[in-house]
Structures are given as C-alpha cells and as structure tokens.
Amino acid sequence: MEHYVQKLGIKAWAEADRPREKLLLQGRRQLTDAELIAILIGSGNKTETAVDLSKRILKHCQNDLDKVAKLTVKELSKFKGIGEAKSITIVAALELGRRRKDKEEEDLKKVTSSKDVYTIMHPELVDLAHEELWVLLLNRANFVIGKQFISKGGQAGTVVDPKIIFKAAIEQNAASVILVHNHPSGNLKPSPSDIEITKKMMKAGLLLEITVLDHLIVNNRSFISFADEEWV
C-alpha cells in the first residue's frame, strides 16, 4: 500500500533523530553532513525525508562537501524536492563556510622561532597550578593549523601519550608538531624524563613522517626550547 511505500516524515521520528532537535540536544558537531544539509532544506518530498534527500545530493557528489559547494542553484534545483529557494539557501550557507575557511587561512600564524611558539601557547598555559601538555600542529610551510590539549597532570608532571599526539596530527593533516608543557613551579629546567620522552616522540615521528620540531617548557614569564638548547 502507498503508506508503506512512503517514508515517515521527520516529525514522526524520535525527537533525538530529528536534525534540529538533535542539534539542540547534542550540539552541532554530532550531526552528519546529511543532517546539517537537511536543516537547510527544511523538508523533503512525498517519498523521502529531508535527510534522505540530503543523502542523495551527497551521494551524487561522492560525499564530498567541496563538490556540493560547487553546485549551482540550477543544478541543485534538478533534485526532486529542491526548489530555487532551497537551492539558494544551500548555496548561501556553503559560501559562508568557504569565506570562513578563507578568513581562517588568512589568520594563520607562521612559526619561525621558539619565541613564536611561546607567544601562541602562553595564553593557554599562564597561571596554571598544574602541568598541562599541548601540541602545536603545523603545515609544511610552518603555519599553525591547530593547537590541541593533550593531557593534564599534577604539580610535578603530566602524561605523554604518543598515540594521542600523533592521532591529532594525522586528523588535521599536520606535517610537523611542537610539544609544549608548563612547569607551575617556574623552574624551566627539564627533567630527564622530559628529554627521554621528547627523543622517543621524535623517533616515532620519523616513522610516521610527522616531524617533532621542538619541545618547549614554559612558565608565566619565560620559556626554554629543547631545539635551541640542542638537547635533542
């Protein structure tokens, strides 16, 4: 019968499965690409939900958002259930995303010295009463493409897990990384463990073709660089 062929509309789904409600309950990062596009579309057609329609558009573009962003209003309007108004909404949203990405690339900071690293990371580590380890992620031109918190310790140390560090680097396509941690005591002298771990990380980086360029120890007012001191 026809009502068995037709798919349930989004309003008939469990609340947690509806894109808008899911965004409100779980946050925007929990939504798939299809669900985000479905929010822009608003509604589907008689035979498919907005999410199904979004999946069809993505499949047409090999699930590549860059290819979706290149579709014109006319091309999007060819999909059943996508009129001119919905096409314009999708094009406008993806154009905003592209402009944001361009702006972020313009704002990328280039690392040319250990002082640059300290300037970038100091705000994250100033005035802490405990140790934290962060990793600065760089592209091949030494521009910063991200910085990520790795672990938190007590007053005397923090855990260094190479798997977490290199996972972050791989996920963001980083060509190199710089380790940074603080000493709440203010003493910048590295422990034997600091040096040993840094050497271990550098060896692991060679295997993964992700260079560990440096390791900085910082306090509220200054820093010391393993590379500058030739400790590694």
Residue type, 100: R
Query: Which among 106, 136, 165 is the end of a domain?
Result: 106
| pLDDT per residue of the chain (232 residues) written in tens, 0 to 9 | 444 445 555 555 554 458 888 888 888 888 999 999 999 998 888 888 899 999 999 999 999 988 998 899 999 999 998 999 999 999 999 989 888 776 665 567 899 999 999 999 998 898 888 899 999 999 999 999 999 999 987 655 566 789 999 999 999 999 999 999 999 999 999 999 899 999 999 999 999 999 999 999 999 899 999 999 998 7
Query: Which among 72, 106, 140 is the end of a domain?
Result: 106
User: Domain containing 219: what range?
Assistant: 114-229
Query: What is the structure's pLDDT at 77?
Result: 93
Identify whether residues 93 and 9 lie together within a single domain. Answer: yes
CATH number for the domain spanning 162: value is 3.40.140.10
Identify whether residues 86 and 143 lie together within a single domain. Answer: no
Structure tokens belonging to residue 158: 């923090």
Identify whether residues 73 and 175 lie together within a single domain. Answer: no
| Beta-sheet strand order (sheet of 176-182) | 144-152, 132-138, 176-182, 211-218, 223-225
Count of domains for the chain = 2
Query: Which among 68, 90, 106 is the end of a domain?
Result: 106
Identify whether residues 38 and 121 lie together within a single domain. Answer: no
